[in-house]
Amino acid sequence: MIEADLLLTNCHVATMTEGSVPYGAIEDAAVLIQNGRIVWIGARADLPVYKIVKTHDLGGRWVTPGLIDCHTHLVFGGDRSGEFEQRLEGVTYEDIARAGGGIVSSVRATRAESEDQLYASALKRLRGLKDTGVTTVEIKSGYGLDYDSELKMLRVARRIGREAGVRVRTSYLGLHAVPPEHKADRATYVDKAVDEILPAAHAEGLVDAVDAYCEPIAFSVEEVSRLFDKAEQLGLPVKLHADQLSDGGGAALAARYHALSADHIEHTTEAGVKAMAEAGVVAVLLPGAYLMLRETQAPPVALLRQHGVHMAVATDCNPGTSPVASMTAALNLACVQFRLTPAEALAGVTREAAKALGISDEVGTIEVGKMADLAVWDIKRPAELCYWLGTPLLHAVYKDGVQRA
């Protein structure tokens, strides 16, 4: 007899496991949950003998894994709507950054705000993600760019994970931009970011992974390599903003360090894609930034498919280039702009996103032994999650087997 806290029944389940069945779908399914984990999943007609505490009849709705946003900059001060206007008037992202705007303008606003202020503003953005089925979110630093402010951001991210009803993975993004006080002495800042701030954040238990922005307007392969060497010494996995604006060898660099993911990759060549495939690096596609920057070169999706690179999808929620706080909007944009199939896109925000965060043993699919992070939807088929823009589809969310208020 299986003992369970909760039985979910009268539902259809998109398990998102790999195989020949689209979406890993189980029609007329049931799920047994005990102590926050799935202990049985299958057709309702095949339910084993069980002892339960509570039953939830889901009224024929669809259930997916809780969605995973594996690339966000959720914690920041201020906004950059003025730069949005500038870009619409023809000013490029690079021009804005070189004139002291862009990331640096968010740095000034973030440094000026307290932890409580940053937490309160992040919760407003998080609401949009939660309302579109997100149960796990990655949050980066990178708008502090000094010792105190980077740790401040990471502490806020950890607080969100404790208090806001989502699972949080943190990424230290110290090499995001050169702060204004080091504009003429970038080497000194790189030294601080690598040798002082990262070890301190790690010692405080604030870092799950290490990220960097590798572009001519940001940091070089050599500078990022120094950071990644330090991450390796500390036993931390790495990920990379790679080849977004140019082919700077970012994908190959990510592969060299067996990174969890290479993100953006609009300009990655076939050689870079092959390197990612050989190293098991997940490609994280960010259609919100592609849309907002009005880019014309899409990520090499055909090459990624050809070489078997796993593809995740994320919002890239940030104040400058992707003010997107909806996971279903990201799904739609990935299909419309990058021509992903709905099955690929939904895998990208569940199974593949979990791989991109190194947590696929815990979440990302609905399987026995995994955490019962589940989203229940008012839809008739899973493709609707990629089809509708702005229509509320979420019925309920379970995190660790408990229905979220």
- What token pair was written down for 352? 């593949």
The CA distance from 172 to 238, in Å, is: 9
Residue 61's beta-bridge partner residues? 11
The CA distance from 264 to 283, in Å, is: 8
| Helix extents (H) in 73-169 | 81-88, 93-98, 103-112, 115-130, 147-163
401 within 8 A of 37, measured Cβ to Cβ: yes
Check whether 176 is labelled as a binding-site residue.
yes
Check whether 80 is labelled as a binding-site residue.
yes
The CA distance from 306 to 224, in Å, is: 29
Check whether 71 is labelled as a binding-site residue.
yes
The CA distance from 389 to 384, in Å, is: 10
The CA distance from 165 to 399, in Å, is: 8
327 within 8 A of 299, measured Cβ to Cβ: no
Could you give the 3-state DSSP secondary structure of residue 56?
strand
Residue 62's beta-bridge partner residues? 12, 377
Check whether 64 is labelled as a binding-site residue.
no
Which residue type sits at 157?
A
Pairing outcome for strands 394-399 and 374-377: antiparallel
Check whether 143 is labelled as a binding-site residue.
yes
Q: What Cα–Cα distance (Å) separates residue 379 from each residue in 14, 153, 386, 400?
A: 12, 37, 11, 23
The CA distance from 25 to 37, in Å, is: 19
Check whether 182 is labelled as a binding-site residue.
no
The CA distance from 135 to 229, in Å, is: 31
Could you give the 3-state DSSP secondary structure of residue 63?
strand
> Token pair 């979110």 is at which residue?
137
The CA distance from 29 to 41, in Å, is: 7
Residue 399's beta-bridge partner residues? 402
The CA distance from 313 to 11, in Å, is: 26
Q: Which residues does the annotation place in the binding site for Fe(3+)?
A: 71, 73, 241, 316
Binding residues for Zn(2+): 71, 73, 241, 316
Residues flagged as binding site for 4-imidazolone-5-propanoate: 80, 143, 176, 244, 321
* Residue stretches of the annotated binding site: 71, 73, 80, 143, 176, 241, 244, 316, 318, 320-321
Binding positions for N-formimidoyl-L-glutamate are 143, 318, 320
